[in-house]
Amino acid sequence: MTENVSSGYQAPTKSSALSEEFRHNSLAPEILMNAIQIKGVSTIDFHITAKCSQACPYCWGPRRFRTPVDTHLSQRIIARIKSLGVRRIVFTGGDPLQRPDAPDLVRYAKEIGLETALSTTGDLVTIEILQELAPYLDLISLPLDGSTEEINARTKHPGHFSAVRRALDWLRLFPNIDVKICTPVTQHNLSDIPAIAQLVEDYSQTTPARVFYNVFQAFPRAMFSANWDNLIVDDDEFSSLKNQVGDKPNVKINFLSHDTLDKLYVMVFPDGSMTIPRGSEYLNFGPFLEIKDFDKALNTSQFDSNKHMHHSRGWSKESMRQILKLGQSATRKNLNLEYSIG
């Protein structure tokens, strides 16, 4: 059940006008005048839509948001994220590529100085979209629930596996976009995780891009009724995966348990409200653009800033420079890679 911490919440008013001040790489004056810093938050996930081509049984993303904030209000939200001192924005959903203006929002975020990431199902990725995004996108995140179409289709729609593999093939042409593969671990794919990890490692040998692999313990939180008994793996099953997967020299692997995932994210939902998940709850603090006391919101939600900052550093471009330097140096030399990752 969602707890609404903010009383008297009113959804942001839509505006059809596209503000030129945002187009030209500047922050809104009212945001600059009231600029404050949010402490202990490096990344904010902006769920720009709830629409999605998939129906994952473990999804904790937003549901029932039929009218997301429009382009103008989305840009104002991005501008405020920047003004707060946040370093990275993750465009997610739903599937953010369900919005035609998603590439414009990514471009705007990059042009005002944010590190940008896009978390997409992969179903709508095309080479044309990647060409449009490439100058402005730092990282793309794609889900794989299995190492084969058959296993992947247990929790994704048929054809999704092929769509992700096709997107990965195209991404070889855009080496400045880091690639992250994500796998929520459920009872449907627990035994397949080592094979998925090997698939990711094999892919990393064929691309000059940096490749990451995030392995999640599917978390019992959703905005719909879910049959968690048929999905969730226990802590011992999940922790045993580290030894089963072993070392992958070209891929940075992150294992995210229930404990790691809880109170880890600050989110802006499609209606423009700020939400911080805690346990099975979605704590909603009202319109992001109207929040004046972020410390109070973080304290109320018991947001774990130390854990969040540690997790954020785990896949930043700067921190990974040293972590991957030795493991990938031979591969990069063989690929004659000559570009900066800083």
For residue 279, whether the previous peptide bond is cis, meaning omega lies within 30 degrees of 0, is: no
Under DSSP, the state recorded for 6 is: S
- Report d(CA 326, CA 26) in Å as an integer: 39
Bridge partner residues of 211 (DSSP)? 179, 251
Q: What average pLDDT does the segment 246-253 reach?
A: 94
**Which of 27 and 308 is assigned the larger pLDDT?**
308
Model confidence at 8: pLDDT above 60? no
pLDDT band at 225 (very low <50, low <70, confident <90, very high): confident
Do the strands 88-92 and 139-143 form a parallel or antiparallel pair, or are they unpaired?
A: unpaired
19-35 confidence digits (pLDDT tens): 444 444 445 545 544 56
Give the N- to C-terminal CA distance of the chain in Å, as an integer: 42
Determine how β-strand 251-256 pairs with β-strand 211-217: parallel
The model's pLDDT over 94-115, given as tens digits with 9 standing for 90+, comes to 999 999 999 999 999 999 999 9
How confident is the model at residue 9, as a pLDDT?
Answer: 29
Q: How confident is the model at residue 315 (pLDDT cuts 50, 70, 90)?
A: low
Q: Is residue 11's pLDDT more than 50?
A: no
Higher per-residue pLDDT: 24 or 217: 217
Helices (H), the chain: 20-23, 29-33, 71-83, 102-111, 127-133, 149-152, 160-171, 193-204, 235-239, 241-245, 258-261, 294-301, 305-313, 317-323, 325-334
- For the ranges 5-9, 85-89, 224-228, the maximum mean pLDDT occurs at 85-89
- Per the prediction, the chain carries an average pLDDT of 86
For the chain, helix (H) and strand (E) counts, in that order, are 15, 11
Tell me which range, 8-22, 52-66, 314-328, is most confidently predicted by mean pLDDT: 52-66
pLDDT value, residue 341: 26
Band the pLDDT of 318: cuts 50, 70, 90.
low
Sign for the CA dihedral angle at 250, 160, 44, 77 comes to: positive
In the predicted model, what is the mean pLDDT of residues 212-226? 93
Q: pLDDT-based confidence at 129, cuts 50/70/90?
A: very high
Q: Which bin fits 8, alpha (ψ -120 to 50), beta or left (φ > 0)?
A: left
- Residue 41 pLDDT exceeds 60: yes
What pLDDT does 64 receive?
Answer: 84
The top-level CATH class assigned to 40-334 is alpha beta
